[in-house]
Amino acid sequence: MSWLIVGTVPRVDFPLTWGKYFSNGRTLAVNGLSVNVVRGTPALMATASVTAEVLGIDPPEVLLAGDTGLGQGSRDLYAYLVDNLDRVSHAGLTFHYLQPDVFWHNKILWGLEERVEPPILAADAGFMYVAKMSGFAAHYDLFTPDAGELAFLADENAPHPFYTRGFLLQEEEQVPELIARAHTGKNAARHLLIKGKKDYVVSGGTVVFEVDAPDVPAMEPIGGTGDSLTGLVTALLASGMDMARACRTAALANRYLGLLADPTPAHGVADLLPFLPRAVELALKKTES
């Protein structure tokens, strides 16, 4: 299945580009442009590419823009995508680090839903925020929040995790309650892959898998380990795997990645990539049964 990753690169000089990309370890190549794998969308892309190779499938395509937070790159990307929706023949899309903008979000979502065969829609980071902010969260197939972001989804009035009320600090212990609130309020996607000390795979508001081992605490402070999880599940879905197994396999593989790499909190996500093929193989074996 073909897949499109939509996100940003933290550079003002990076032009809008759409195409296939190739992973060279700590860098990625797309349409003659080079991108460093540090965190954010490039980390997602690198993980998806390596995982796709293990699975024997083509890597996803990518639509990227440079954006350091002013939002212009994201808005240019949104406008380009809306003008080129007929180019989106992919089975699924993963939206990532993008400046939240309800106007453009809605135009994209409605355009994609007009397709005869609507694609599978996954959202993380800024685009998950705007999907919830828009009131259309339930139109998505997958969100990948951490426990704090789940608290934001569960708070029907919060427009951003910065303003989330009432669930401070103890989110991990409240995950089942927060899942129910987010689902009841239609502020969750049809499926959730919640990352934390324990990962939860949720379908239709019901927890279908819990994954809590192996546990590598040093993964939490490493920037990009949430992006790697989203990259893993993106490639697994692109292979045609069903949603629940893809989420469980991704959660396991990200944990094996930590176990095999044995990082300190000072490691970068690129340091972990050499261990990814083995981590994916172990997770696939574990979820076969």
Partner 1 sequence: MNYLRRFFAKKSTTPKSGLSEKGLLLYHSTGEVIRAESLLKEAGLEVAVKGPPPDLRQGCDMVIEFPLLQEMRVREILAGHNLPPLRVAVAQDHVLEPVSLYHVKEFGDFLMVRAANMKITVDRRDQRIVNVSGGGCPDVPYLAEMLVGKRLHQAVEPRTMGQTLCGYALQLAFEEMIRRCPG
Report in angstroms how near the CB of residue 186 gets to partner 1 at its nearest.
5
Pick 47 or 287: Cβ nearer partner 1: 47
Report in angstroms how near the CB of residue 261 gets to partner 1 at its nearest.
14
Pick 265 or 274: Cβ nearer partner 1: 265
Question: Which DSSP string do the residues of 121-163 spell out, in sequence order?
Answer: EEE-HHHHHHHHHTT-GGG-SEE--BHHHHHHHH-TT-SSGGG
Pick 194 or 282: Cβ nearer partner 1: 194
Q: How many C-beta atoms surround the C-beta of residue 160 within 10 A?
A: 13
Report in angstroms how near the CB of residue 286 gets to partner 1 at its nearest.
26
Q: Which residues contact 36 (CB under 8 A, 6 or more apart)?
A: 26, 27, 42
Pick 157 or 289: Cβ nearer partner 1: 157
Question: Torsion-angle region of residue 31: left (phi > 0), alpha (psi -120 to 50) or beta?
Answer: left
Amino acid (one-letter) located at 100: P
Cα–Cα distance, 5 to 123 (Å, whole number)? 10
Pick 8 or 23: Cβ nearer partner 1: 8
Report in angstroms how near the CB of residue 55 gets to partner 1 at its nearest.
25
Report in angstroms how near the CB of residue 191 gets to partner 1 at its nearest.
15
Q: How many C-beta atoms surround the C-beta of residue 108 within 10 A?
A: 24
Cα–Cα distance, 288 to 286 (Å, whole number)? 6
Cα–Cα distance, 9 to 265 (Å, whole number)? 23
Residues that bind partner 1 (CB under 8 A): 8-11, 38-41, 67-71, 73-74, 97-100, 102, 110, 113, 116-118, 124-129, 132-136, 138-139, 146, 148-149, 152, 156-165, 168-169, 186, 217-218, 220-226, 264-266, 268
